[in-house]
Chains A and B, each alone.
Chain A
Amino acid sequence: MTAFGKVSLRGNILQRGRSKERSRLLVFNHAVLLLLTAFAVLPLLILFFNSLKTKAEIGANPLGPPNQIIAENYINAWEQGNFATTMRNSVIYVVVTIAAELVLGGLAAYALARKKPPGSDLLMLYFLVASTIPLWMYIVPLYTQFRIWGLVGEVHGLIIIYIAGNAPLTIFLLRSYMIDLPRELEDAARVDGANELQVLTRIVLPLTKPGFLTVGLVVGLGVWNEFTLALTFIYDPSRAPVTTSFFKFTDRFARDWALTSAGAVIIIFPVMVLFLALQRQFIEGLAEGGIKT
């Protein structure tokens, strides 16, 4: 056997060894991933199973597939939960809040990132502190003030609270994006005659698009899932959001888990579709926003 042959043989053995090691690692990785997938998917699967059972079967068989499929749970949940109305309302709350948040939050974040007005650091600190105060500490004064202003029970009153409540997160996230953008790009645009608004709309916005998308998704999900403020500030059932539908499946000490499960599937379905469609941008946006702080 030549020296070349020996080297080649040793290379093959080494390669085979590495390949086996790699296969073992792959099996391990896949096992971990499967476990994590099961961790995420199984609760949803159980939720779906329970949405097709009777109350009595949920009690006797809370985890397994249904013995008899009760599809009427979806019809009953839709009607009893008044989902036709509450879903429409939630879409309005979500869309208007996101739109206002992106415009107002985007402008504020740009100003804080680039213009650095006096006291901007103090303002950021204020946002940080204010956003950590629990809702129950200020809900009564907020209610009192809104009642005086005639905003209790009004759709725009609740939207104002949502916009204000989400503003710190929006500004933090967008500012962290904008602050690390190369200034040279903006300077080049200015040299080419762009004014400040053009710099923002033509240079900064396209570069921070994933950030805006992330903010839109985070704020949208928050408003879609919000419950306490909606319950406190909206009385008229025709203006109630989708989360309040869940309370229509409760009695004094318990809830109808069959209808609750069906209602939950109805509520999370549009969110899941949206998230799956935009998940790449969402995850990238969130990761970059976190890194660039």
Chain B
Amino acid sequence: MKRLKICFGMLVLLLALSSVGAQDVTTVSMWFGESEYAQCITEVVNGFNDVNPALQIEIIPQADTWNTTRTAVAGGGGPDVVRSPGPSFVYEMAQQGLILPLDSFADEMGWRDTFVGWALDLGLVDGQLYSLADELETLVMYYNKTLFEANGWTPPDTMDELIALAEEMEAAGIVPFSHGNADWRPTNEWFVGEFMTQIAGPHNVYKALTGQIPWTDESMVEAMETLDMMQQRGWFGGGLDLYFTNTFDTNLSMLGNGEAAMNIEGTWRFNGIPDYFGEAGGNDNDWDWAPVPSKTGDDLFTIGMGNTSSINANTPHPQETATFLTWFFSAETQGAMLSNCGKGPAPIHLPEDAMVGLDSRVSRAYAALSEASADDRYGYTTWTFWPPKSDVYIYEEVERVWTGEITVMDYLEGLNELFAEELAAGDIPPIPSR
């Protein structure tokens, strides 16, 4: 009997050991678009895989990531980590139960300390956390530094100074802004959002986004009329007709060769702008950036999110996926991806030493953005904070203002009406309170 018990015990032990061996490796998958530095991210993630043999992360380069992700997730498959192009895209997935609520993981894994104060609010849907914001971005004013120096110009601080400088450039035969929307029609919304923040002010935009003031407020009218004035004078790309046909290559070539002097674009362009200056661009010019001038002269930065991460409701490994996300959003990992891959960091507490090795112009931008975000000098990008229908309205209908079909007031009244409907329906993305 005793021998039988020993044999049984041995058998149980063997089975237990074999099952431990079989369950040893858990694989968590994450899709990255080809454009999103998948190869570089894979190398960073290999650092995690090397020290976590029991939990392996598979980064899969997946073109057209968002469309393929939502098809796969809706079909019951897809990666364990679901990435979307921004907080407003998460809403429907959360409502359909395709992604998991993350509140318990946020408490358990300390995410509330990792992220800056307002950042987790961006992932709230009906009061529950469903996504973690990633790829913090803002718009800055790139300029041809060599051209500025040759003409004795300095980057303007206020909107009035900007207008005066643009007039000077126009007189010198230089296009003030190398802008155009042929590659990406929503380029229009960059300028609408930026001018609202810089002229109407972020506090007024916040009030409008929360329904406290209408979009027809006089501060918004002033912002839109200034933008329209610049378009009508041909300061964006050399004329309205050219604005509608200029591609990004054209815009950046104009800036690089000095045909144009400035360009308001996102921090995502830090990766590509060197291709249009110096030897790569076939000229002797250099570039730099400055904050987009504001009405008051304060350095204001609109904040946007390029991506979010959530956990797929179909995953058999939610806990392991959350463990990986904890590592992914750590300061060390985000710093490594920023320095090595040029990926915009998540809105986390990122120490300065995490940005070692970056071009000083790039690290200066992220440091300024971080400072502005802590200092209440942040505004709102339309693609992150506006509800979907209003967002589309913003970049489609503004073309009718520029072509003279409708007035600025008509445009804002239309926006106000549509926004009110979406506000009443509860379709507004989460707006961090200020």
Interface size class on chain B is 35 or more
In contact, B268 and A251 (Cβ under 8 angstroms): yes
In contact, B275 and A56 (Cβ under 8 angstroms): yes
Interfacial chain A residues near B296, Cβ < 8 Å: none
In contact, A232 and B72 (Cβ under 8 angstroms): yes
Interfacial chain A residues near B31, Cβ < 8 Å: 235
In contact, A147 and B77 (Cβ under 8 angstroms): yes
Interfacial chain B residues near A56, Cβ < 8 Å: 249, 252-253, 256-257, 275-276, 280-282
With A and B bound together, what is the CA distance between A62 and B246 in angstroms?
A: 11
In contact, B34 and A248 (Cβ under 8 angstroms): yes
Looking at chain A's contact residues, the main secondary structure is helix
A227 to chain B, nearest CB (A): 8
With A and B bound together, what is the CA distance between A254 and B181 in angstroms?
A: 11
- Mask: chain B, 268-285; 1 = CB below 8 Å from A; 0 = not: 100110011000111000
In contact, A55 and B249 (Cβ under 8 angstroms): yes
Interfacial chain B residues near A143, Cβ < 8 Å: 71-72, 74-75, 77
In contact, A54 and B61 (Cβ under 8 angstroms): no
In contact, A59 and B268 (Cβ under 8 angstroms): no
Interface size, chain A (Cβ < 8 Å): 33
Name the contact of A147 in the complex, choosing from B60, B76, B251, B253 (C-beta under 8 A).
Answer: B76
With A and B bound together, what is the CA distance between A59 and B249 in angstroms?
A: 4
B180 to chain A, nearest CB (A): 10
- Mask: chain A, 125-168; 1 = CB below 8 Å from B; 0 = not: 00000000000000111011001100010000000000000000
Listed residue (A58, A62, A68, A235) with the most chain B CB atoms within 10 angstroms of its CB: A235
Interfacial chain A residues near B164, Cβ < 8 Å: none
B278 to chain A, nearest CB (A): 10
In contact, B63 and A254 (Cβ under 8 angstroms): no
Those of A245-279 within 8 Å (CB) of chain B:
246-248, 250-254, 257
Given the known A-B contacts A56-B253, A56-B275, are A252 and B72 also in contact in the complex, defined by CB atoms under 8 Å?
A: no
Those of B241-294 within 8 Å (CB) of chain A:
247-254, 256-257, 266, 268, 271-272, 275-276, 280-282
- Mask: chain A, 28-71; 1 = CB below 8 Å from B; 0 = not: 00000000000000000000000000111111101000011000
With A and B bound together, what is the CA distance between A67 and B253 in angstroms?
A: 15
Interfacial chain A residues near B62, Cβ < 8 Å: 231, 235
Interfacial chain B residues near A237, Cβ < 8 Å: 60-61
B64 part of interface (Cβ distance < 8 Å): yes
Listed residue (A60, A62, A68, A232) with the most chain B CB atoms within 10 angstroms of its CB: A60
With A and B bound together, what is the CA distance between A235 and B17 in angstroms?
A: 34
Interfacial chain B residues near A60, Cβ < 8 Å: 250, 253-254, 257
In contact, B276 and A147 (Cβ under 8 angstroms): no
Interfacial chain A residues near B248, Cβ < 8 Å: 59, 253-254
A244 part of interface (Cβ distance < 8 Å): yes
In contact, A59 and B251 (Cβ under 8 angstroms): yes
Name the contact of A247 in the complex, choosing from B64, B251, B257, B271 (C-beta under 8 A).
Answer: B64
In contact, B282 and A57 (Cβ under 8 angstroms): yes
With A and B bound together, what is the CA distance between A58 and B251 in angstroms?
A: 11
Listed residue (A152, A247, A252, A253) with the most chain B CB atoms within 10 angstroms of its CB: A252
Residues of B within 8 A of A (CB): 31, 33-36, 60-64, 67-68, 71-72, 74-77, 183-184, 187, 247-254, 256-257, 266, 268, 271-272, 275-276, 280-282, 306
Further 4 A-B residue pairs, CB within 8 A, beyond A235-B60, A246-B63, A251-B272: A58-B253, A59-B249, A152-B77, A253-B184
27 A/B residue pairs, CB under 8 Å, sorted by A: A56-B275, A58-B253, A59-B252, A59-B254, A60-B250, A62-B247, A68-B282, A140-B75, A143-B71, A143-B72, A147-B76, A148-B76, A152-B72, A231-B62, A231-B64, A232-B68, A236-B60, A244-B63, A246-B63, A247-B34, A247-B63, A248-B34, A248-B63, A250-B35, A251-B35, A252-B306, A253-B184
Listed from nearest, the 10 A-B pairs whose CB atoms lie closest are A59-B253, A247-B63, A59-B249, A143-B75, A254-B248, A56-B281, A144-B75, A60-B253, A248-B34, A250-B35
